[in-house]
Amino acid sequence: MVINNFSAHLPFGDNKIAPWYGKDILSVKQFSHDDLDYVFGVAHEMREMVTRIGTFDLLKGKILANLFYEPSTRTSSSFTAAMERLGGSVIPINEVKYSSVSKGESLPDTVRTLECYADVIVLRHPEIGSAALAARYARKPVINAGDGVGEHPTQALLDLFTIYEELGVGVVDGMTVTMLGDLKYGRTVHSLARLLSLYNVKINYVSPDILRLPREVYNEVAEKGVPQAEFASLADVLPETDVLYVTRVQKERFEDPEAYESVKSAYVIDCDIMQNAKEKMIVMHPLPRVGEIAIEFDDDPRAAYFRQMEYGLYVRMALLAMVLGKA
Ligand code: NCD
């Protein structure tokens, strides 16, 4: 059941001790500043627990259905690792072509099937709004792991957690974040820009003209009073940047292959270019990268993208514990 973008699952009811118990996670719009502090507090504890004891039984006996209609390496495997590190188990459906989806089964029916066997469903699907659709039919919590070019809320949460852990909790306010690359189709950008609009930040967008941020997202962020500016050249904004968020040009979303060819190599971050950036800043990327960051930059301490993946494990552990009423 969906009420105001939130799902209030009747069997779970309102729970003041575990307010996320039974809730869906469909969009970053569900999260307030206080919610973020709470998620990151739990994620930080998860990080310490994993470092100290590796695996523990917080979600023992619980089952996650990991339903992926689009390719995934990090999101899928980090949800699996998160569930298993918490003592739970996973039904992996990474290749929907081997499931009844290939026989023409609808998303609502697939979701209704999986919730008979699982306690929570993680869904990645090529269509905007698919996670909300699934949540409408599911009694169990649905977590959006990317709905087409819509949102990718758990990625944005782990992106922000990365900034907290790398640069310090208090420093997000006052920061300049520069997003680079495919801002049109990059759903992680859409979610992160919305999430950052809860803070006192400045956001720069650097992209080819045909890959500018959708107006809908731009206007939502503007309504929150966040200063934003768009550029074609990274050189204009790199020196003031505290977080450089690099993205891949999303080849699979282009209708015209020539248009993709014309922008695919628009920006490449390398050691030379990064000489013009601050010494204390970070470069992030949701990954996979396909050439937008040169491998030679990986050893630079500012290259945070591999650490970012690890932070994703702790955030997803926190989210699973929350929606299953254990945090
Ligand atoms: C991103 C995605 O799927 O949107 N990857 C991820 O989840 N880490 C980014 C991308 O595919 O470029």
Q: pTM of the predicted model, to two decimals?
A: 0.94
124 C-beta closer than 6 A to ligand 1? no
Task: State the Cα–Cα distance between residues 64 and 91, nearest whole angstrom.
Answer: 6
145 C-beta closer than 6 A to ligand 1? no
Task: State the Cα–Cα distance between residues 126 and 184, nearest whole angstrom.
Answer: 15
Mutation choice for ligand 1 from 152, 182, 207, 260, CB with most ligand atoms inside 8 A: 152
202 C-beta closer than 6 A to ligand 1? no
286 C-beta closer than 6 A to ligand 1? yes
155 C-beta closer than 6 A to ligand 1? yes
Question: What's the gap in Å between 304 CA and the centre of ligand 1?
Answer: 16
Of the pLDDT bands very low, low, confident and very high (cuts 50, 70, 90), residue 9 is very low
Kindly state whether residues 192 and 134 are assigned to the same domain. no
Kindly state whether residues 303 and 160 are assigned to the same domain. yes
Host domain of residue 93: 2-152+310-323
**pLDDT value at residue 97:** 75
Question: What's the gap in Å between 288 CA and the centre of ligand 1?
Answer: 7
Mutation choice for ligand 1 from 75, 189, 305, 316, CB with most ligand atoms inside 8 A: 75
Phi/psi at 53 (5° precision) = -125, -5
Task: State the Cα–Cα distance between residues 134 and 137, nearest whole angstrom.
Answer: 5
Question: What's the gap in Å between 252 CA and the centre of ligand 1?
Answer: 12
Per DSSP bridges, beta strands 243-246 and 176-180 are: parallel
Between the CA of residue 92 and those of 97, 113, 154, 209, 211, what are the distances in Å?
13, 14, 18, 39, 33
* Cβ atoms within 10 Å, residue 170: 8
Name the closest-CA residue to atom 8, ligand 1.
Answer: 286
74 C-beta closer than 6 A to ligand 1? yes
Structural domain count, the chain:
2
**pLDDT value at residue 230:** 98
Mean pLDDT of 4-25: 66
Name the closest-CA residue to atom 6, ligand 1.
Answer: 286
**pLDDT value at residue 217:** 98
Of the pLDDT bands very low, low, confident and very high (cuts 50, 70, 90), residue 13 is low
Kindly state whether residues 9 and 147 are assigned to the same domain. yes
Kindly state whether residues 70 and 192 are assigned to the same domain. no
Kindly state whether residues 34 and 99 are assigned to the same domain. yes
Question: What's the gap in Å between 85 CA and the centre of ligand 1?
Answer: 23
Q: Please, are residues 23 and 35 in contact by the beta-carbon 8 Å criterion?
A: no
Task: State the Cα–Cα distance between residues 2 and 139, nearest whole angstrom.
Answer: 10
- Angle, alpha carbons 127-40-58 (nearest 5°): 90
Task: State the Cα–Cα distance between residues 65 and 93, nearest whole angstrom.
Answer: 7
**pLDDT value at residue 193:** 98
Task: State the Cα–Cα distance between residues 96 and 105, nearest whole angstrom.
Answer: 10
For the chain, what is the mean pLDDT? 94
Kindly state whether residues 74 and 163 are assigned to the same domain. no
**pLDDT value at residue 14:** 58
The residues that bridge with 204 in the sheet, in sequence order, are 178, 229
325 C-beta closer than 6 A to ligand 1? no
What is the atom index within ligand 1 of the atom nearest the CA of 70?
3
- CATH code, domain carrying 70: 3.40.50.1370
pLDDT digits (tens, 9 = 90+) for 82-140: 999 999 999 999 878 778 888 889 999 999 999 999 999 999 999 999 999 999 999 99
Task: State the Cα–Cα distance between residues 258 and 210, nearest whole angstrom.
Answer: 12
**pLDDT value at residue 127:** 95
The residues that bridge with 144 in the sheet, in sequence order, are 123
Kindly state whether residues 186 and 225 are assigned to the same domain. yes
Torsion sign across C-alpha atoms 136, 157, 226, 212: negative
Kindly state whether residues 137 and 46 are assigned to the same domain. yes
Of the pLDDT bands very low, low, confident and very high (cuts 50, 70, 90), residue 179 is very high
Of the pLDDT bands very low, low, confident and very high (cuts 50, 70, 90), residue 4 is very low
Mean pLDDT of 244-256: 96
Kindly state whether residues 214 and 120 are assigned to the same domain. no
pLDDT digits (tens, 9 = 90+) for 204-234: 999 999 999 999 999 999 999 999 999 999 9
Kindly state whether residues 161 and 294 are assigned to the same domain. yes
Q: Which helix (H) or strand (E) holds 49?
A: helix 33-53
Question: What's the gap in Å between 17 CA and the centre of ligand 1?
Answer: 33
Mean pLDDT of 53-69: 97
Kindly state whether residues 209 and 292 are assigned to the same domain. yes
Kindly state whether residues 267 and 318 are assigned to the same domain. no
Average the pLDDT over each of 65-69, 134-138, 166-170 and give the range with the smallest value: 166-170
285 C-beta closer than 6 A to ligand 1? no
pLDDT digits (tens, 9 = 90+) for 281-316: 999 999 999 999 999 999 999 999 999 999 999 999
pLDDT digits (tens, 9 = 90+) for 232-243: 999 999 999 999
Q: DSSP label at 243?
A: E
